[in-house]
């Protein structure tokens, strides 16, 4: 029997709604900007933001590329309407073409795929600054621990309310929040190419991945994790190697220590709440 990843969904909702509200207020921001992709995570993030701030302070954007599907556009629009939000669409193909032209060549596929979320983040931060808002991410713990996000792309945000929830927990929370079943049941995909799915790229289902990650989190023996998750032992080692190899994506740039108090290690100011006045 595997570890239990089930949530107290009501308590989780209360905690995350309070977190979003408190963080936005402590930042002195007027609201949040976020990408609404038509997928599960952004639907849950937008729902929590509306409950925390009210619809008038939540600004969703659909930022399609050539690889984006019409189904995603419809789902993003449907979710915005469900929450009483005004969805703005900004195609990023002109930015992509300009970036490729500046490079002077067509970049390799993996490079091109990482360009897309970085360009999206350029737009989201511009829109946020224009509104006096901050950028809210919708990454989950499964993605963060495996590095399944783009550094300074979808990982480069001001706050990540879902970042301590595994993907299967986000799905559970979505049902509790009343996210439309069409979105809850949708196959997770980053929309990088036609037919692409998260689980194909990760090499296992999110149900299995979350069992493996939780076992690693609570420091179970790898043999026990493999048995509980129903996977070969080398798959547990593969996920742990992936976690370690992507650690750099989960941190700000490392600063070597030369002075008395070094940025990033010694200056530990609170990010929420009232600190001493300047």
φ/ψ bin of 157: left (φ > 0), alpha (ψ from -120 to 50), beta (otherwise) = beta
pLDDT at 275: 43
Question: Which residue carries 């946020």 as its tokens?
Answer: 128
Largest Cα–Cα separation, the chain = 56
Average of per-residue pLDDT across 53-77: 95
Supply the mean pLDDT for the chain. Answer: 92
Q: What are the structural domains of the chain? A: 9-193 (3.40.50.620)
pTM of the full predicted structure? 0.92
pLDDT digits (tens, 9 = 90+) for 113-140: 999 999 999 999 999 999 999 999 999 9
201 pLDDT tier (thresholds 50, 70, 90)? confident
44 pLDDT tier (thresholds 50, 70, 90)? very high
Average of per-residue pLDDT across 82-97: 97
DSSP per residue, the chain: -PPP----HHHHHHHHHHHHHHHHHHTT-S-EEEE--SSHHHHHHHHHHHHHH-GGGEEEEE---TT--HHHHHHHHHHHHHHT---EE---HHHHHHHHHHHTSPPPHHHHHHHHHHHHHHHHHHHHHHHT-EEBP---HHHHHHT-S-TTTTT--SB-TTTTS-HHHHHHHHHHHT--HHHHTSPP---SSTT--HHHHHTS-HHHHHHHHHHHHTT--HHHHHHHHTS-HHHHHHHHHHHHHTGGGGSPPP----SSS-TTTT----SSS-----
The residue count of the chain comes to 278
pLDDT above 90 coverage of the chain, percent: 81
Residue 2 has pLDDT above 80, yes or no: no
pLDDT digits (tens, 9 = 90+) for 220-232: 999 999 999 999 9
pLDDT at 192: 65
Q: Which two tokens stand for residue 153?
A: 């792309």
């Amino acid at each position: 029997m595997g570890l239990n990843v089930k949530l107290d969904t009501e308590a989780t909702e209360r905690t995350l709604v309070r977190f979003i509200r408190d963080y936005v207020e402590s930042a002195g921001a007027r609201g949040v900007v976020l990408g609404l992709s038509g997928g599960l995570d952004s639907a849950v993030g937008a729902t929590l933001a509306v409950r925390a701030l009210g619809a008038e302070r939540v600004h969703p954007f659909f930022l399609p590329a050539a690889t984006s599907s019409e189904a995603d556009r419809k789902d993003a629009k449907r979710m915005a309407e469900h929450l009483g939000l005004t969805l703005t669409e900004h195609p990023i193909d002109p930015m992509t073409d300009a970036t490729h032209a500046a490079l002077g060549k067509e970049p390799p596929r993996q490079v091109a795929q990482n360009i897309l979320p970085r360009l999206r983040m350029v737009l989201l931060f511009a829109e946020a600054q224009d509104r006096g808002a901050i950028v809210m991410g919708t990454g989950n713990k499964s993605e963060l621990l495996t590095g399944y996000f783009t550094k300074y792309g979808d990982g480069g945000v001001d706050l990540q309310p879902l970042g301590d929830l595994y993907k299967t927990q986000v799905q559970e929370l979505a049902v509790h929040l009343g996210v439309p079943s069409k979105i809850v049941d949708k196959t997770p995909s980053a929309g990088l190419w036609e037919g692409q799915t998260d689980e194909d790229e990760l090499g296992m289902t999110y149900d299995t991945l979350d069992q493996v990650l939780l076992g690693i989190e609570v420091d179970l023996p790898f043999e026990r994790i493999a048995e509980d998750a129903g996977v070969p032992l080398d798959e547990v080692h593969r996920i742990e190697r992936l976690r370690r190899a992507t650690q750099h994506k989960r941190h700000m740039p490392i600063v070597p220590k030369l002075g008395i108090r070094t940025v990033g290690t010694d200056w530990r100011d609170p990010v929420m709440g009232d600190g001493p006045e300047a």
